[in-house]
Structure 1
Amino acid sequence: MTQQSESAPESAPESAPESTMQLTAAVPAPPTAPPLFPPGVPAPVKVKKDRRVLRAVLRWTAAVTVFAAVGAGTTYAVTERTRGDLPGLATESDGRWEYPAIEKPPLPAGAPAAFAEGNTREEHFADLRKLVLPAPEGATEDKKLAGKNGWLPTATYLDVYEKDARADLAQALKDGALRHIAARGWTMPDGTHTRIYLLRFNTGAFAREYDANVVGSSDGLTGAPDTEENFSWTGESGSVVRYTKLNVYDEVRPYGKEQVRQAYIQSGDVVALVAQSRAGRVAKIPFQQTVALQNQLLG
């Protein structure tokens, strides 16, 4: 019995190294893991649970994304502070004037619009006096430009130009079959003086001829005898209204006591002059705003 217990087991491989046998014998067998769920308790359905969790995670992720987007959008809007984008919030003024609500005057019964099909003369049948842009808030109106019953004498209009240009302009107006002149002027608290003149000719053809042959070659307004056309202005202020033509002129430096800006709008049978002057310099934004609004009224 003693000899049998001291002999090697028959199952041990004869070729196994002694070191391997010792290492294997030294490492105990891993303990058996307890069951994940106690006996009698069914395991939950993993697929359904995972989907519910996934849906909940997606809902929270979407909510966080929406809040992040809204926060980012609000930050962008407040940072940009685009005029009119934030009703109820105070924004820094960009220099624009506060004009009243502007609407085109009604047409007489049965009268077509200026550029309607069939209106070959391109006539504005609406009251010309109501096509002049109203004065903005805070303005002091120029009573001299009110005229009699709203119609301005030709001589008063010619006073806008240098003396040596008035005779030729008067003849051009006569040859162009000028019918009426309506005007309005005002002065803002900062001293900017605005004058708007609407000249109605017999037809659109006469107005185009006057605009092409006289406006571009005129010597400029009183106080600004030398001018140059600003070709980049329409690109800065937006597209010109359909069916209309716009030309903007800047006074050539050095300025006199005042800087003068002027713009001409030709729309059908009407040629409009918008002029602004101010001691020092005329602000760019209100000038563009005024011209654009007058252009829209005539378009």
Structure 2
Amino acid sequence: MSEHTAKSGASGTPEAPPSAAVFAPLLPHPDAVGAAPKPSRRALRAVARWTAAVLAFGTLGTGTAFGIASLERTEVPGLATESDGRWDYPKLSLPALPAGSPRPFGAGNPAEIHHADLRELLLPAPAGAVADKKLPGGWVSTETFLDAYRQQDRSSVSQLLKDAVPRHIAARGWTMPDGTTSRIYLVRFNSTAFASRMLDDLNVGYSAGTPLDRTDTTEFDDTWGSDNDIENLSSFVFAEQAPFGAEHVRQAYTLAGDTLALVVHERAGKRETGRVPFQQTVILQNQLLA
């Protein structure tokens, strides 16, 4: 499986997307976790998908890591509160791991398994948000996750989930004062191979994949720069193109080891969903999964 790496950066202008800040890696545990088998057919499909993504996003650089806990909010790219449309997220921290468990991309975890509680890896809502009672930040059912997709496609996505057998699905949602609705789904599988296969089967890579509910023409967001990508994670970022319907939707899938993340921002009316807060949300969620 190919890996996207990127260099962190920041921009203070309203037109520039927020840049990524990466958590400092923890020391790996000496006990290695066995690597999951990766069927050759899946591997070949993954190579094709990564190739398409590289053509869309350009060549990626190398990430620069620094500790986030010791910095002030205004010093952390992606968390700053300048008047460029970024949301005011709380200070982030990684959840505690079970005793003896390594981080997902440490040397002692070649299978890239997330051992932390998946619910604690969900990005918290920003200041001013009204929580979604259906997506409170806990476990959700397969049916709730399927609601993200068009009615006519839910049965096919349901079958994919039955075949891949995810271990857990966690989700959080909220609505901002400007009417933007945010939803984040984290789906953890038994291995990296299953997570990657799910992304393949959703046809994400060459396109936005299986259409989400209330979407029309969705294409790669070419404003997502390589400096927003985080080492070891593969992100695919899309935006609905004009003319769109009653809502404007932005979406992103991130493959993070054994976990697949889906981030959705949606706003009703003829105004586009804000690009800066959407990319900020994706970046910060990715940091928690890295």
TM > 0.5 fold call? yes
Offset at residue 225 of structure 1 (A): 3.8
Return structure 1 stretches of 4+ with deviation > 4 angstroms. none
- Partner SS for 2:102: coil
* Aligned: 1:256 with 2:249: no
Offset at residue 113 of structure 1 (A): 1.0
Hey, what's the Cα distance between the residues in 1 that align with 2:229 and 2:104? 17
* Aligned: 1:192 with 2:167: no
Work out which of the residue numbers 248, 268, 281 in structure 2 matches 1:290: 281
* Aligned: 1:234 with 2:234: no
Work out which of the residue numbers 104, 108, 127 in structure 1 matches 2:117: 127
Q: Which has the higher helix share?
A: 1
Find the structure with the greater CA-based Rg.
1
- Asked which structure has the greater RCO (Cα within 8 Å, sep 6+), the reply is 2
Gaps in structure 1 of 5+ consecutive residues: 1-76, 78-82, 86-90
Residue matched to 1:102? 92
Hey, what's the Cα distance between the residues in 2 that align with 1:168 and 1:175? 11
Contact preservation (8 Å) 2:202, 2:210: no
| Amino acid in the other structure paired with 2:215 | A
Contact preservation (8 Å) 1:162, 1:225: no
Residue matched to 1:34? none
Q: How many residues align?
A: 209
Contact preservation (8 Å) 1:121, 1:205: no
Contact preservation (8 Å) 1:145, 1:152: yes
Offset at residue 122 of structure 1 (A): 1.4
Hey, what's the Cα distance between the residues in 2 that align with 1:199 and 1:156? 12
CA separation of 1:99 and 1:208: change in aligned 2, threshold 3 A: same
| Amino acid in the other structure paired with 1:256 | G
- Partner SS for 1:195: strand
Offset at residue 233 of structure 1 (A): 1.2
1:92-116 deviations in whole A, cap 9, x for unaligned? Answer: 6111111111011111000111112
| Amino acid in the other structure paired with 2:251 | Q
1:99-140 deviations in whole A, cap 9, x for unaligned? Answer: 111011111000111112242321100000000000000100
- Partner SS for 1:103: coil
| TM-score normalized by the length of structure 2 | 0.68
Work out which of the residue numbers 252, 261, 266 in structure 2 matches 1:277: 266
Gaps in structure 2 of 5+ consecutive residues: 1-11, 13-72, 76-80
- Partner SS for 2:103: coil
| TM-score normalized by the length of structure 1 | 0.66
Hey, what's the Cα distance between the residues in 2 that align with 1:254 and 1:144? 30
Hey, what's the Cα distance between the residues in 2 that align with 1:215 and 1:297? 25
Residue matched to 2:201? 213
- Partner SS for 2:235: strand
CA separation of 1:157 and 1:115: change in aligned 2, threshold 3 A: same
Contact preservation (8 Å) 1:265, 1:273: yes
Offset at residue 214 of structure 1 (A): 1.2
Contact preservation (8 Å) 1:265, 1:272: yes
Contact preservation (8 Å) 1:219, 1:226: no
- Partner SS for 2:182: strand
Contact preservation (8 Å) 1:250, 1:262: yes
